[in-house]
Structure 1
């Protein structure tokens, strides 16, 4: 029998000499021990009250060793219990036939459920008439303590294994890396002096019991979040894309104040062009979550099938609001501004400068000398923002660039006499370029700053986006000294995308229900705000009675009467989030309170903020594997994406500067910015 083939029968490796006194002889070395359980320890090399067998075959040693260690871990889990040791691993079943070894009904708890009592060899009990306490009447306590020590060490090792496994699930690293000698050395290099090596999980363990344990834990985490949807409501985030095979795929995420969770992935390729069927797919997701729980669907794009569904969604689905990701809409604004002829010309000239300098090592070293090591290319999480962030850097280094091209270092260089070098030097010395750059930045940097704010936000933004976009427009107006002829072209771009895609009734309702804005002196409740509030009430509140109560109680809120009186104070409305404010001051008006909390608990941004990798979903949606492998991949996808979301929900580490996009793509390579690349989602 080869090692790892499964359970092994101890009776095949020992001979019962005296049933009355429970004496058993080892078939390999002739040693006599008390009972078949001690024979297992003898054969498996478990030190305690019995010496290991030196003559037993290696495969026999390994099988008994694994069997005993498995029981010790199981026993320890039962003995310590979760309440006292919450971080210790649960019982695991590593082998499919393990339960077949637990068949004997003579197991007893005469010793109070001790580790010693549970480790009596039950296989030999029917034959040998063994009872607890008789097996090791002499020296049993010593063996028990040894087992306890080994069990604790095993449990801690398993906890380390679990942490290693979570690393694989979280990062998506291929399980085969667990077999790498370098990986094992890396893990064990972290151990302190004198500690034994960790038993790094195998590929089979990562795909087996460890994955199932992680699935169960993640299901509990998701379950807790689902319970919050009834009170705060939730948003469905669409993450759609077209893969290299031309398939139209989508991840469905569910977002709420407690965190975002991954629901499922779907291949909708066969439904493209059939908007009604695509709508029914989305209706199925809404139904699974609960139509009373869903406040809005946040689309990732305005084009492709997502855009097609969005055009008819509000007519087809009467109880949920359709919105488009705010960051995506702002990216569209930046793209469109970047295509204005004057702005595009400035960006092209800026690219000429960066391409020339970064294309030659000697010039790059010269740049670093004059800018004190600063780069002028700025990476970004989104392509539309990168040209303007880089242009901002170039303008900030204006004097250093001028000094560089006026220096003797430049004049004596090889490139100073080249046509390309002269063109760039003239460009840096051209004041019209710098004037144009200043205009481009005045029109775009306020939008870039809002994009950064939305991506970094650690609180729901629906109650702020309406006011924020007004502030952006006012900031641009101020940058141009209120000269209408200068700022109006940029306002028109912003208004077009706002009116067509970004503006939603719940944005207006959020603006009205946000006490920080509503009770301020510059609140402006025009017809658009009033209509958005009314539309949200009709769409999100099901029964007529509740709608009437909300409308009536809004008067109390508007005049800061009753329960709202204390909440209108400046420190109360500005120091706590809007949804929390309503939980404190809206208790006298439960229908209005629930309505306000559900709206103010939503984000206006989409799935792109979580930057989930699509490769695992693409693999999951590829057919042809057997049902067992498909289920395993489904479990892995569920764990992987929810681990990613769980980590990000706690930190909100959304930084506009990131490494997802290589700045050299647009600023070194010859693809011109006259063909700007959009972000991800046009599926």
Structure 2
């Protein structure tokens, strides 16, 4: 296979099983022509595995047009959901104000992929609805959706959405016990925001929320243009500054593990915190610089080889900070951490990889019978008996 794919592997390991499945499907579809060429080549005909039940099952799968149609359909359906998860996992801006709106956009994209055939898309939407219930559709999420001008000002139908208003009313009753205060926000300040009055009517304010790019942050938008509604502005900034994932905390813990090791475990608490702070933010700046340079959303790239985030590997190449607070360019985390601790943590550190990381350098010809892990009797039941009869 690596001969026909130019030594590229198919399986793409990811931090989660979901990411691994998506990346592997992307990679598999990218190598569709190469895999077909492999199974139609003379090398496959002379291969010992071509006469086995599993070999014949693999041949029938790769040559089956319906299989490739299914792979393409899975990728198209997963793609909008991956976009949402990638946004939640990202570091460049808080996601609370976008999670509900992006899920609604993902649902619309899935419907379009399935040509708005309710029989096809309804089972998928039922799964999404079950997972969202009481997790991504709470009063807090709906309030954040309402207060994000990117959605509220670009979709005129939201003004008449009573579910959003009801969610906002319930949310206010949770954070304010004063009924007069609640009434002032609902009757005075909310209409100003809803109808684009006073400072919200400025052309600059309306243009600033037209596009959801890296520069747009709804919390900053409220800070700049929400002076006409001080109470609503305070609520909006607090809500829209929230994250919806613990990924940032987990990355900080990973940095802590890299700094506080068995060999460097006598650091004072204050110095340790400072080292972790500098290390984490230095890596964050490097990551954001690379992301802006590429100018692509990695998990939505057309080529599977561009999907580098969420890939898992060791620490190699990450600069650490020494105890004096300065970087040690020549020393990497993999050198600072002893072999045992590195081996224990290998497979839990996301880093960016190149295509060469999935290439086998030393390839040997398959000259011996290969022992495969058993997957039960399913292959033999489906293919073995019928193929033996054909032979």
Q: Does 1:530 align with 2:165?
A: yes
Q: CA deviation at 1:422?
A: 2.6
Q: Structure 2: how far apart are the matches of 1:443 and 1:549? A: 44
Q: CA deviation at 1:478?
A: 1.0
Would you say the 8 A contact 1:537–1:547 is kept in 2?
A: yes
Would you say the 8 A contact 2:100–2:142 is kept in 1?
A: yes
Q: CA deviation at 1:492?
A: 0.5
Alignment of 1:169-180 (within 5 A): none
Q: CA deviation at 1:544?
A: 4.5
Aligned residues: 296
Partner of 2:148: 514
Partner of 2:185: 550
* Of 195, 201, 224, the match for 1:559: 195
Would you say the 8 A contact 1:515–1:568 is kept in 2?
A: no
Q: CA deviation at 1:591?
A: 1.5
* Of 581, 590, 605, the match for 2:230: 590
Q: CA deviation at 1:600?
A: 1.5
Q: Structure 2: how far apart are the matches of 1:600 and 1:434? A: 41
Partner of 2:101: 467
Q: CA deviation at 1:657?
A: 3.0
Would you say the 8 A contact 2:222–2:237 is kept in 1?
A: yes
Partner of 2:310: 656
Would you say the 8 A contact 2:199–2:226 is kept in 1?
A: yes
TM-score by length of 1: 0.39
Partner of 1:430: 64
DSSP-derived class of the 1:611 partner: helix
Would you say the 8 A contact 1:370–1:403 is kept in 2?
A: yes
Q: Structure 1: how far apart are the matches of 2:372 and 2:183? A: 61
Q: Classify 1:481/1:669 alpha carbon distance in 2 versus 1 (closer, same or farther; 3 Å).
A: farther
* Of 119, 122, 146, the match for 1:488: 122
Q: Structure 1: how far apart are the matches of 2:237 and 2:144? A: 10
Q: Structure 1: how far apart are the matches of 2:125 and 2:40? A: 39
Q: CA deviation at 1:614?
A: 6.4
Structure 1 residues not aligned, in runs of 5+: 1-366, 621-628, 673-683
Q: CA deviation at 1:558?
A: 0.9
Listed one character per residue, the Cα deviations across residues 232-282 of structure 1 (whole Å, up to 9, x for unaligned) are: xxxxxxxxxxxxxxxxxxxxxxxxxxxxxxxxxxxxxxxxxxxxxxxxxxx
Would you say the 8 A contact 1:514–1:578 is kept in 2?
A: yes
Q: Structure 2: how far apart are the matches of 1:464 and 1:615? A: 27
Q: CA deviation at 1:608?
A: 5.5
Q: Classify 1:615/1:557 alpha carbon distance in 2 versus 1 (closer, same or farther; 3 Å).
A: closer
Q: CA deviation at 1:574?
A: 2.7
* Of 100, 106, 113, the match for 1:479: 113
Q: CA deviation at 1:496?
A: 0.6
Q: Structure 2: how far apart are the matches of 1:539 and 1:461? A: 22
Would you say the 8 A contact 2:111–2:117 is kept in 1?
A: yes
Would you say the 8 A contact 1:383–1:661 is kept in 2?
A: no
* Of 577, 588, 599, the match for 2:217: 577
Q: Classify 1:522/1:650 alpha carbon distance in 2 versus 1 (closer, same or farther; 3 Å).
A: farther
Structure 2 residues not aligned, in runs of 5+: 292-308, 314-346, 350-356, 359-370, 376-391
Q: CA deviation at 1:461?
A: 1.6
* Of 417, 423, 431, the match for 2:51: 417
Q: CA deviation at 1:671?
A: 9.5
DSSP-derived class of the 1:564 partner: helix
Listed one character per residue, the Cα deviations across residues 501-543 of structure 1 (whole Å, up to 9, x for unaligned) are: 2223222111111112111135435233222222332333465
TM-score by length of 2: 0.65
The Cα RMSD (Å) is 3.6
Q: Tell which has more relative contact order, 1 or 2 (C-alpha 8 A, sep 6+).
A: 2
Q: Structure 1: how far apart are the matches of 2:148 and 2:227? A: 16
Q: Classify 1:368/1:580 alpha carbon distance in 2 versus 1 (closer, same or farther; 3 Å).
A: same
Q: Classify 1:671/1:658 alpha carbon distance in 2 versus 1 (closer, same or farther; 3 Å).
A: farther
Q: CA deviation at 1:473?
A: 0.9
Would you say the 8 A contact 1:480–1:486 is kept in 2?
A: yes
Would you say the 8 A contact 2:255–2:280 is kept in 1?
A: no
Would you say the 8 A contact 2:255–2:279 is kept in 1?
A: no
Q: Structure 1: how far apart are the matches of 2:33 and 2:202? A: 54
Would you say the 8 A contact 1:454–1:605 is kept in 2?
A: yes
Q: Does 1:605 align with 2:241?
A: no
Listed one character per residue, the Cα deviations across residues 566-601 of structure 1 (whole Å, up to 9, x for unaligned) are: 157642323642222212221132222211111112
Alignment of 1:136-155 (within 5 A): none
Listed one character per residue, the Cα deviations across residues 38-96 of structure 1 (whole Å, up to 9, x for unaligned) are: xxxxxxxxxxxxxxxxxxxxxxxxxxxxxxxxxxxxxxxxxxxxxxxxxxxxxxxxxxx
Would you say the 8 A contact 1:463–1:600 is kept in 2?
A: yes
Q: Structure 2: how far apart are the matches of 1:543 and 1:647? A: 45
Q: CA deviation at 1:438?
A: 3.1
* Of 87, 90, 95, the match for 1:453: 87
Listed one character per residue, the Cα deviations across residues 98-129 of structure 1 (whole Å, up to 9, x for unaligned) are: xxxxxxxxxxxxxxxxxxxxxxxxxxxxxxxx
Q: CA deviation at 1:460?
A: 1.6
Q: CA deviation at 1:420?
A: 3.1
